[in-house]
Amino acid sequence: MGSLFMANTKRTLAPDIRGILTFIFYAHKNAVHHGLTRKIGEWKYDSYPDLTSSEPTFLKRDEVHAIFGSREQMIHEHSKLIIEPK
């Protein structure tokens, strides 16, 4: 049980690589957006630390890095200021 498996869950197909980038960034900034943390990667359930580390993971880290262009580019994109609407 949970919102992931319930009827009100909205799913959107990423139309292209830019859409996938947007979805990944959205998932990582969500804890900041909801006030759970001040920075991406601080929330204990965030996948961002696993994507930036070299520790073993089940995540498809290399594929995510490739989508952004490189690990460094992914970090750069995530370091941009998050400005939330008032």
Residues 12-58: tens digit of each pLDDT: 787 888 888 888 888 899 889 889 998 899 998 889 999 999 999 99
Q: Tell me the pLDDT band of 4, cut-offs 50, 70 and 90.
A: low
The encoded tokens of residue 22 equal 């947007």
CB 49 within 8 A of CB 57: no
pTM of the model: 0.73
Identify the top-confidence range among 2-16, 38-52, 69-83. 38-52
The structural domains of the chain, with segments of one domain joined by +, span 38-86
Model pLDDT for residues 16-28, shown as the tens digit of each residue: 888 888 888 888 9
* Angle subtended at Cα 82 by Cα 67 and Cα 6, rounded to the nearest 5 degrees: 70
Find the distance separating the first CA and the last CA of the chain, reported in whole Å.
Answer: 33
* Residue 1 pLDDT greater than 60, yes or no: no
